[in-house]
Structure 1
């Protein structure tokens, strides 16, 4: 600071000397030219003093402009010789600019990383503002839409007439299926965020045609396995028995005399054929029932009345199996919009499964039924304290014709889940081996 003070002092001293010379020359009536020259020297010295004193303000202005326009190449060091405080101030300015420079470099690196990530994902990504101006679009989106660039959503009209409306009106989190002219099934999801006070819509675009085809192929393969297994299990013994019967007819009954033992063998073979034939007929009937569920007839259904009907219907089976059924009272009346008969069938099936799960258990058998409604979602739960379901089987219990029981068609739970799906709901199961299972109907 001492150097800065010295600079001010000698400038003030020179100005004082010049002023004194001007006054002296004026009093002594020296030549006008000399007075003019002294006045010009005075103005120069005064301007030098002004610039010298306001240099810090100009430096601060340059610093703020550097920050505003992101010009971080500026360095402050020209007036370091004016004193320690100037050197400290310049050092702080330079350190702040260096911090801003590093922050900008890091921001650019993150932006480059994010852009590389966005451009290389297989899901199409598109963001646009309220005017339809496209802020970001990746190569996957351009490829799925069959275009090479997109600056505004209005440019989609020529190729995809309905797509702009879908993108603008899409509800957050809800997928919309759009079929292109190239027979693509595009799943479109939209979400709106506010960026610097502006609403920005971010959309994901995914071709699900391949995925749907894979799932369809997998479903047909699974169905074929089930049909092959069931049909072969019935047809193989029938063919074998027919061959045995043919041998009996050719070798033992050809002379017209029927030994009692041969007749008994024929009767047994015919009985077995009849049993297996009826078994395959039952399987085909179960398959027909599984694929022919009628559409629900929706109406308002009281959950309390629904549960009372189910409990009344299963009470004889419960008493016979010595099972205690506990139904918790509803905290308030609950209604659902559903087909009461179909939901009653689902509940009966679940209670029946719970009863059958107790085979081999002697005491302490309980089934609990309760319902509650929160945030517009109604849930009915059926819980038992039976042996539970092994994790491997729990993953397959909703597969058609899969069963863990010695008897049964294996379509009960599949049918129940299909009914819940027709109601726009869900059927979920959780189970702990040795402790029991809980099935939840979620509306």
Structure 2
């Protein structure tokens, strides 16, 4: 009702205060009714105090509401004042806001519990470290799932320094890629060797820095891949050796039958003998070359990492490969040779990789009307890509993985070790080599480096 409204009550109180003040002024000036004057003064003082408490009550309610929102206190209730107070709409809005705030809070907690449950169930170890140090100077672990505890063989520690004391090798490796990146780790946990594929992601959330560490044991997968690789390699080696040994063995039997029980050989027999011996020599040399190529793959030197700019690398490649491309009538575009972006690598080894890729591309575009090869780079987040793209015949999808198998080649007179060596060199740089190909349209080989 209107008489409960704040405006009416305020005007009524102010009117009463003004009337009492006028009456008090009149009594003091024109009469000597001291008891009446004292009584009116007390009533006026009480009315002023009542007005103060009335206004202060509203201010106090607003203050309580703001504090409840700040502290996420959902127990505050304004239902009584929404029906009986001076500001029913205001108090009703307060209640609605607190209810919506409570609902959002409950939804956030439910989503957090859902994500936490999912992370507890996945077989991937997840550790989240709050990089804001406590008063003791320690970093607190915000999340440590059961998989992480099982993989590392440790309890779910609350502080990072405790985990560091227990598994220094793991923590040191993580700190080396704290800015973000992936790393392969081998750890001995409780006399058992495990191989972890580890990734670190830095995250800034609400002005706080976090480090998300995820890792999984890939020992079984690696062993399976190694077995498959060995089977493929043994198949290739067996095929090459059999191809060389079979004619050698056959020719040896032929020579043996030619010379056995004979003291002299006529001219035709001597010619046949020479031919057979030359064939044996040629196949033996081929077999020796095959073994040398295999040793070349297995005995790559350790990279000598130094700082080099991308422009420097591309400029060297352009000088090296441009003459060869020109002889083959291939347009070779090496772009962005002035780039100042610096990366840690072994220049000689990476040049060898690029030489292998560009050489392969030159042979791949031989049958094209307008043969074209381009070399450029791209920096994205903490990844650096160097691309070699050509418009050659491309690679069939069934051959995309086989091309990295030692001695596998689709090129006539190719050795089949160039891409194998290139992939090994990139792995030694903690990078990788990737390929995307659309036959007879475009093929792109990418060298991927971690850029920190």
Q: TM-score higher than 0.5 here? A: yes
Greater displacement, 187-196 / 39-48: 39-48
Corresponding residue number in structure 2 for 1:172: 179
Corresponding residue number in structure 1 for 2:117: 116
Is 1:396 aligned with 2:406?
no
Corresponding residue number in structure 2 for 1:63: 65
The equivalences for 1:176-191 within 5 A come to: 177=185, 179-182=187-190, 183-186=193-196, 188-191=198-201
CA distance in 2, matches of 1:204, 1:275: 54
Is 1:3 aligned with 2:3?
yes
1:60 is paired with a residue whose SS is: helix
Is 1:155 aligned with 2:162?
yes
Corresponding residue number in structure 2 for 1:77: 79
Q: Deviations along 1:180-204, whole A, 9 cap, x unmatched? A: 4533344554444444434333333
Is 1:204 aligned with 2:211?
no
CA 217–358 in structure 1, closer or farther in 2 if over 3 Å, else same: same
Contact 2:232 2:405 in 1 (8 A): no
Q: Deviations along 1:342-366, whole A, 9 cap, x unmatched? A: 666656655554454466x4x7363
CA 370–134 in structure 1, closer or farther in 2 if over 3 Å, else same: closer
1:133 is paired with a residue whose SS is: strand
Identify unmatched segments of 5+ residues in structure 2: none
Contact 2:361 2:373 in 1 (8 A): no
- Normalising by structure 2, we get a TM-score of 0.68
Corresponding residue number in structure 1 for 2:99: 98
CA 144–286 in structure 1, closer or farther in 2 if over 3 Å, else same: same
CA 407–163 in structure 1, closer or farther in 2 if over 3 Å, else same: closer
Identify unmatched segments of 5+ residues in structure 1: none
Contact 2:125 2:151 in 1 (8 A): no
CA 391–42 in structure 1, closer or farther in 2 if over 3 Å, else same: same
Tell me by how many angstroms 1:396 deviates.
2.7
Tell me by how many angstroms 1:76 deviates.
2.3
CA distance in 2, matches of 1:421, 1:310: 24
Is 1:141 aligned with 2:155?
no
Corresponding residue number in structure 2 for 1:88: 89
CA 369–43 in structure 1, closer or farther in 2 if over 3 Å, else same: closer
What is the RMSD computed on CA atoms of the aligned residues?
Answer: 5.3
- Normalising by structure 1, we get a TM-score of 0.69
Contact 1:381 1:438 in 2 (8 A): yes
Tell me by how many angstroms 1:206 deviates.
3.7
CA distance in 2, matches of 1:325, 1:29: 118
CA 404–120 in structure 1, closer or farther in 2 if over 3 Å, else same: same
Greater displacement, 100-109 / 173-182: 173-182
Contact 1:365 1:386 in 2 (8 A): no
CA 380–64 in structure 1, closer or farther in 2 if over 3 Å, else same: closer
Tell me by how many angstroms 1:231 deviates.
3.4
Higher alpha-carbon Rg: 1
